[in-house]
Amino acid sequence: MRILLTNDDGIFAEGLCALHDALCGEHQVIIVAPEAERSAVGHAITIADPLRVRKIKRNNIFFGYAVSGTPADCVKLALYEIVNGKVDLVLSGINRGANVGINVLYSGTVSAATEGAILGYPSIAVSLNEYLEPDYCFAAYFTSCLIEFLAKNGFPKNICLNVNIPAIPAHQIKGIKCVRQSTKPLIEKFEKRIDPHGNIYYWQCSEKFIEEDPDTDVVALKEGFITITPLYHNLTSFEILAKIKSWNIEF
Amino acid sequence: MRILLTNDDGIFAEGLCALHDALCGEHQVIIVAPEAERSAVGHAITIADPLRVRKIKRNNIFFGYAVSGTPADCVKLALYEIVNGKVDLVLSGINRGANVGINVLYSGTVSAATEGAILGYPSIAVSLNEYLEPDYCFAAYFTSCLIEFLAKNGFPKNICLNVNIPAIPAHQIKGIKCVRQSTKPLIEKFEKRIDPHGNIYYWQCSEKFIEEDPDTDVVALKEGFITITPLYHNLTSFEILAKIKSWNIEF
């Protein structure tokens, strides 16, 4: 397969290298990733500024293309300009930290894969539930198994598969669970601080999930399952749409 | 009502002022908006950097709070730190340019309102389908009518209403249509250019919709309707989820 590989932690991130190394023996892996970390940029794209592309080496061999934009920019620019011909898969990750629940909307990693799905390509986002000391070995291995399975059984069309992997020893993983995205809000806080010049600033801190439904990505991941959530880029609430069609708004 | 007003064009944008002026007679309008234009940032949030808040005057009177972050940051920071007590509505706009179809995912204006819905507040995003010479008068008037209607008939819970208004004379508007978000990809291009130093750069240009379904936001707006699309922050494809539950992936 021809795989377009990207992420939001930047082209030099360990998680991206781990995926590359696990897949490059069997597949052609083309890397187009942000030149630096672009976490939590969601589905941001760059319209008002130009984008630049640099060739990057690793161990003195050409490794991939670094782009001066967001993860979604990388996928667009790769598929429209950089990649010669079509790809079989858009793969994003491995992200440092989980992308479940509401964080799916904030995640650059997931948005890159969603962009792939919008443009009509099979796509997968992979995240590891560990921020401080991530070990990507098992997650990269599992991704290669998943890709092998999908190559045999077919990729769902226009869908981004959002995969989250627990950061526990492989033998403790309870299995794979296909679950919905949790929609509960995070419990968040801002810390109010004073800078050395006496000015107030705020820093977002301490996110916490309040979800309890075991059939959500948030809870299943916490319980030790690998989670797979199929994402489709349609935010319409059809339930509410049916109700509001009878509205009679005067103006 | 207490209305939290924000946008992605920045606190000094005409569209925001138009909404403020149309609503401040009847309602308490609290403005918390980005200090500068933050278009197409999607649902980006600021985690790695601090956020600063500045009080802004207009005509020598306190007007609102300018935040050094994204539209979603503004809503979070407003509701957690700046606004004293709850609000009745999170309102975002009026955006310079439509936010329909796939652009809903890229839009900072819509993401700000979605953030309001995530946090449990009724929310509305308003956009005008004109980028070059926008006249916000009618759009602001319509928004005040919509708010009056919703105040009487009830806001849908946990939903962001995405409203798009055609930039044509009011008497030519065909009516209001409640429609789904179009999911068709945009036809996009990148222009490849050479900078004064001989280096290549790319610039995204010429977006075009290919949607034809009249029951979508893209087509209804083009046909001269005011469109309302209820958005819910759940990207799960339940159709595909039901299918993939039987997957047996070996690892």
Nearest to B201 among A51, A104, A159 (CB): A51
Contact B80/A249, CB-based, under 8 Å?
no
pLDDT confidence of residue B41: 86
pLDDT confidence of residue B64: 98
Structure tokens at A160: 């981004």
pLDDT digits (tens, 9 = 90+) for B12-28: 999 999 999 999 999 99
- Residue A84 DSSP SS3: coil
Residue B206 scores a pLDDT above 80: no
d(CA B251, CA B244): 16
Rounded mean pLDDT of chain B? 96
d(CA A96, CA A94): 7
Strands of B129-210 (E only): list them: 160-165, 175-178, 187-194, 200-208
Q: What pairing do the DSSP bridges indicate for beta strands B53-58 and B61-67?
A: antiparallel
CA-based Rg of chain B, rounded to a whole angstrom?
Answer: 19
CB distance B215 to B180 below 8 Å: yes
CB distance A164 to A146 below 8 Å: no
d(CA A68, CA A52): 5
The DSSP output letter for A88 is S
Contact A202/B77, CB-based, under 8 Å?
yes
**Of the candidates B156, B22, B23, B38, the residue with the CA atom closest to the CA atom of residue B95:** B38
pLDDT confidence of residue B208: 87
Contact A203/B51, CB-based, under 8 Å?
yes
Collect all residues of chain A within an 8 Å Cβ-Cβ radius of residue B46.
40, 204
d(CA B21, CA B19): 5
- How big is the A-B interface in CB pairs under 8 Å? 239
Per-residue pLDDT of chain A (251 residues; tens, 9 = 90+): 999 999 999 999 999 999 999 999 999 999 999 999 988 888 899 988 999 999 999 999 999 999 999 999 999 999 999 997 789 999 999 999 999 999 999 999 999 999 999 999 999 999 999 999 999 999 999 999 999 999 999 999 999 999 999 999 999 999 999 999 999 999 889 999 999 999 999 999 877 899 999 999 999 999 999 999 999 999 999 999 999 999 999 99
**Of the candidates B15, B7, B14, the residue with the CA atom closest to the CA atom of residue B71:** B7
Tell me the pLDDT band of B158, cut-offs 50, 70 and 90. Answer: very high
CA distance B242 to chain A (A): 9
pLDDT digits (tens, 9 = 90+) for B173-193: 999 999 999 999 998 899 999
pLDDT confidence of residue A84: 79
d(CA B185, CA B182): 9
Q: Helix crossing, B137-153 with B14-23: angle to 10°?
A: 50
Nearest to A233 among B41, B72, B105 (CB): B105
CB distance B9 to B93 below 8 Å: no
Nearest to A230 among B159, B189, B236 (CB): B236
Those residues with Cβ within 8 angstroms of residue B113's Cβ, 6 or more apart along the chain or in another chain: B90, B91, B92, B123, B124, B125, B160, B161, B162, B231
**Of the candidates A99, A214, A222, A78, the residue with the CA atom closest to the CA atom of residue B202:** A78
CB distance B109 to B69 below 8 Å: no
d(CA A103, CA A183): 9
The CATH code that applies to domain A2-181+212-244 is 3.40.1210.10
pLDDT confidence of residue B221: 98
Collect all residues of chain A within an 8 Å Cβ-Cβ radius of residue B99.
none
Collect all residues of chain B within an 8 Å Cβ-Cβ radius of residue A190.
51, 76-77, 80-81
CA distance A61 to chain B (A): 22
- Residue A20 DSSP SS3: helix
Nearest to B229 among A45, A76, A236 (CB): A236
Contact B181/A234, CB-based, under 8 Å?
yes
Residue B3 bridge partners (DSSP): B29, B89
Counting every residue written for chain A, the total comes to 251
Q: Which residue of A has its CA nearest to B250?
A: A145
Burial B186-220 (b: 16+ CB within 10 A, else e): bebebeeeeeeeeeebbebeeeebebeeeebbbbb
Torsion of CA B99, B104, B110, B111, to 10 degrees: -150
List the domain boundaries for chain B. Answer: 2-182+211-244
CA distance B56 to chain A (A): 16
Arithmetic mean of pLDDT, B216-236: 98
Collect all residues of chain B within an 8 Å Cβ-Cβ radius of residue A228.
244, 247
Nearest to B102 among A118, A236, A250 (CB): A118
The CATH code that applies to domain B2-182+211-244 is 3.40.1210.10
Collect all residues of chain B within an 8 Å Cβ-Cβ radius of residue A40.
44-48
pLDDT digits (tens, 9 = 90+) for B231-251: 999 999 999 999 999 999 999
Tell me the pLDDT band of B205, cut-offs 50, 70 and 90. Answer: confident
Place of tokens 């991941």: A221
pLDDT confidence of residue A205: 87
Torsion region of B28: left, alpha or beta (phi above 0 gives left; psi -120 to 50 gives alpha): beta
Nearest to B204 among A47, A120, A158 (CB): A47
pLDDT confidence of residue A123: 98
For the sheet containing A28-34, what is the strand order? A53-58, A61-67, A28-34, A2-6, A89-96, A123-128, A160-165, A225-231, A175-178
Contact B202/A240, CB-based, under 8 Å?
no
pLDDT confidence of residue B85: 78
Contact B231/A249, CB-based, under 8 Å?
no
pLDDT digits (tens, 9 = 90+) for B102-134: 999 999 999 999 999 999 999 999 999 999 999
- Residue A173 DSSP SS3: coil
Collect all residues of chain B within an 8 Å Cβ-Cβ radius of residue A47.
39-40, 204
Counting every residue written for chain B, the total comes to 251
pLDDT confidence of residue A226: 98
Collect all residues of chain B within an 8 Å Cβ-Cβ radius of residue A113.
none
Torsion of CA A19, A21, A23, A25, to 10 degrees: 180
Element at A123 (helix H, strand E): strand A123-128
Collect all residues of chain B within an 8 Å Cβ-Cβ radius of residue A176.
247, 249
Residue B48 scores a pLDDT above 90: no
CA distance A162 to chain B (A): 10
Nearest to A159 among B77, B232, B237 (CB): B237
Amino acid at A231: L
> Could you tell me which residue, B47 or A147, shows the higher pLDDT?
A147
Q: Which residue of B has its CA nearest to A111?
A: B105
- Reported ipTM: the value is 0.93
pLDDT digits (tens, 9 = 90+) for B79-89: 999 997 789 99
Collect all residues of chain A within an 8 Å Cβ-Cβ radius of residue B53.
200, 202
Tell me the pLDDT band of B139, cut-offs 50, 70 and 90. Answer: very high
